[in-house]
Structure 1
Amino acid sequence: MNPLASLKHLADAGLREALYERIVTPELEELFARMPKPVGSFGYDAWGYNENSAKLAMGVIKWLYEHYFRVVAHGLEHVPPNGRLLVIPNHSGQLPMDGVLIGYALATNPHGPRAARAMIERFFPTVPWLGNWLNSVGAVIGDPLNCTKMLEQDEVIIVFPEGIRGSGKLYRQRYQLQRFGNGFMHLALQHKAPIVPVGVVGCEETMPSLANIAPLAKLLGIPYVPVAPPLPLPARVYLNFGEPMMFDGNAESEDEVTAKVEQVKEKIRELIDRGLKERTQIY
């Protein structure tokens, strides 16, 4: 490496270190120290999660959470401070801001911080660099095998059973729950994992979509191309965490699994209604 390149490398390293120290506060360092999240000697786990990347992301999200979306979270005392757990929210807003905000709420929970893993759609890793970055901050492709291994390690996992049916719905469908997949309930039954339902209010208004340009989405190989604001709007977000739900035993049929899923869906609907009654203004 020539001298000029060496100086540039040192300058870049110094800039990164200064940025890290500015964004990652002592309070965040203390939270991460309390999280039950074992990583290897290099700071990574088997799925690519990296503590330093997660701390930087949390430092940035802190401003969005507290000042841009002005999130109000209720019921965090219902989240167990350790042990396997499935967090099941409604999904909306075109971009996965709901998962980001729920993850921050769990990580800063005064009753016990948790480093949550969010299940993401398979198209995200196809975007250059995005997949690796999402892995580094805790996101993982929503595959049953990934979920199984994480639950066996007593992780907390955020799963959106509506999938893109929820995130990509139009504004006229706001707060109308879409069909839930049954996969999370199979995991809960197989691994005796409690479920904490979450009602999210506000993300519907962050990127209200008037239409979906389906032909363009198909051409680009992505789930949808919404006619929506180019950036999220500063809607006030309310997160209501419900009491843990336990489902014992094995379901004899898929109809029985679906019936259990409907119980969770109904609880989420109640939590959404609570948030809608709570908010006094959208923005």
Structure 2
Amino acid sequence: MKAPALDPPRLSRFGEHLLSRIVTAEVDAMIDGLHKRTGSFGYDPWGYDEGSVKLAAGVIKLLYERYFRVQAHGLENIPAHGRVLIVGNHSGQLPMDGVLVGYALLSNVHGPRAARAMIERFFPTVPFLGNLLNGLGAVIGDPHNCAKMLESEEAIIVFPEGVRGSGKPWRLRYQLQRFGNGFVHLAMNHRAPVVPVGIVGCEETMPSLGSITPLARLLGVPYVPIVPVPLPLPARVILNFGEPVEFDPEPCSETEAQRRVETVKARIQALIDAGLSQRERVF
């Protein structure tokens, strides 16, 4: 007996219905209201794609509000316009912290921003992931890329710990790892304020017992975490945005630059501590 053919119009209607449930009128208006400079096809020079952002925003909105139940404090500290570096602690094996911080800025009632996230160089080597992240506004964390975007008055999310933070094991949770100092030089050279953000909750979304180093080397990635659950857990997330820090743009010694890095690091630690005291339960 011949199998019945699928009805393409029915599938098309189902797809349109599903898309309308994800990209709601609220999400559509939120993205259209950004007035982001894009070409006639909806892209900017770094690959940002309005269509991809709308779809992602619809999905992330559900995760932000219902799964991780994010509480964001201090969003009034994010400038509504102009260049800014949002610098935070990194954790959770997957880049959920960057995704949630990005949505907090996107939905900020004090002035929504389509933030760019600096990502590790290995991400574009993962099939499909590089193009997907580019479409959502992420860019390889290269100083040249960051400088160009600051000159274009972008808001940029930076995690100076890099994989040292995202891939750390559970026993080091909420312990800040070594910060790179590139963000301070960028802030100084381009007169960009630094807004620190302390992120609490992402440590618990995917706790790691360690890394399978031989497999990581074979795959060419920084780490392959040993996790009890392969999907992010619904931990409650708290984002605390601090007051902007501005540095003197005049050239300084590397010792002074490092002191400025430690200043930002200390503010982030204080915001983390505040978040830990604010939350009543982990899940």
- Partner-residue secondary structure (3-state), 2:168: coil
Letter in 2 for 1:241: F
Asked if structure 2 preserves the Cα contact closer than 8 Å seen for 1:36 and 1:114, the reply is: no
- 1:22 deviates by 2.1
- 1:31 deviates by 1.5
Partner of 2:3: none
The share of aligned pairs that are identical, in percent, is: 66
- Partner-residue secondary structure (3-state), 2:156: strand
> Is 212-221 or 112-121 further displaced after alignment?
212-221
- What 5-or-longer segments of structure 1 have no aligned partner? 1-6
Partner of 1:209: 208
User: Could you tell me how far apart the structure 1 residues matched to 2:18 and 2:136 are?
Assistant: 17
Letter in 1 for 2:86: V
User: Could you tell me how far apart the structure 1 residues matched to 2:214 and 2:239 are?
Assistant: 34
Partner of 2:58: 59
Letter in 1 for 2:253: S
Asked if structure 2 preserves the Cα contact closer than 8 Å seen for 1:98 and 1:200, the reply is: yes
- Partner-residue secondary structure (3-state), 1:111: coil
Matched, 1:243 2:243: yes
- 1:23 deviates by 1.1
Task: Summarize the Cα distance change of 1:38–1:12 in structure 2 as closer, same or farther, 3 Å threshold.
Answer: farther
- What 5-or-longer segments of structure 2 have no aligned partner? 1-5
Partner of 1:3: none
User: Could you tell me how far apart the structure 2 residues matched to 1:16 and 1:53 are?
Assistant: 16
Superimposed CA distance per residue, residues 57-78 of structure 1 (whole angstroms, 9 cap, x where no aligned partner): 0100111111111111100011
4+ residue runs over 3 A deviation: 7-19
Superimposed CA distance per residue, residues 200-231 of structure 1 (whole angstroms, 9 cap, x where no aligned partner): 00000000111111111111111001111200
Q: CA RMSD in A?
A: 1.5
User: Could you tell me how far apart the structure 1 residues matched to 2:10 and 2:250 are?
Assistant: 59
Partner of 1:185: 184
1:11-160 residue pairs with structure 2 within 5 A? 16-160=15-159
Normalising to structure 2: TM-score of the pair?
A: 0.94
- Partner-residue secondary structure (3-state), 2:150: helix
Task: Summarize the Cα distance change of 1:127–1:11 in structure 2 as closer, same or farther, 3 Å threshold.
Answer: farther
Task: Summarize the Cα distance change of 1:189–1:13 in structure 2 as closer, same or farther, 3 Å threshold.
Answer: farther
Letter in 2 for 1:258: Q
- Count how many residue pairs are aligned between Structure 1 and Structure 2: 277
Letter in 2 for 1:273: D
